[in-house]
């Protein structure tokens, strides 16, 4: 199977600090990874598309300076929440894209719960 891991699974930080979340594809290469956030009892919202070797593309309304994305290798993308505030508290989920012919596949990580105090 295709496994995607996230680290950490849970993080609590103080307001004003930065938090880095890692997303790794464990047994396949992913030229593209995606970052989502989910507020309690709501759906997943696509934040940005992370492209290996190039800049990430952000969805409308997502601050690129707030949510820094680095896709340093074919198996690792990181999301850094800079100067975190309580309103950034959320569940962050990544996915990794594996192309299977014309029909693409995405595999999701288990998520990271961020709590900003």
| Residues making contact with another protein (CB under 8 A) | 32, 34, 36, 41-46, 49, 59-60, 91, 93, 95, 97, 102-111, 113
2 contacts: CB under 8 Å, gap ≥ 6:
25, 27, 28, 96, 98, 105, 107
DSSP letter (8 states) at residue 101: T
Q: State in angstroms the smallest separation of the CB of 117 from another protein.
A: 19
Compare residues 82 and 91 and give the one whose CB is closer to another protein.
91
Compare residues 20 and 113 and give the one whose CB is closer to another protein.
113
19 pairs with which residues across the strands? Answer: 81
């Amino acid at each position: 199977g295709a496994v995607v891991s996230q680290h950490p699974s849970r993080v609590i930080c103080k307001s004003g600090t930065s938090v880095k979340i890692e997303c790794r594809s464990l047994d396949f290469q992913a030229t593209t990874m995606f970052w989502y956030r989910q507020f309690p009892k709501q759906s997943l919202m696509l934040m940005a598309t992370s492209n290996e070797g190039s800049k990430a593309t952000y969805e409308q309304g997502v601050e690129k300076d707030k949510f820094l994305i680095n896709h340093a290798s074919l198996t690792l993308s990181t999301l850094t929440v800079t100067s975190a505030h309580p309103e950034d508290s959320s569940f962050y989920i990544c996915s990794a894209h594996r192309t299977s012919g014309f029909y693409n596949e995405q595999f999701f990580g288990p998520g990271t719960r961020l709590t900003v105090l």
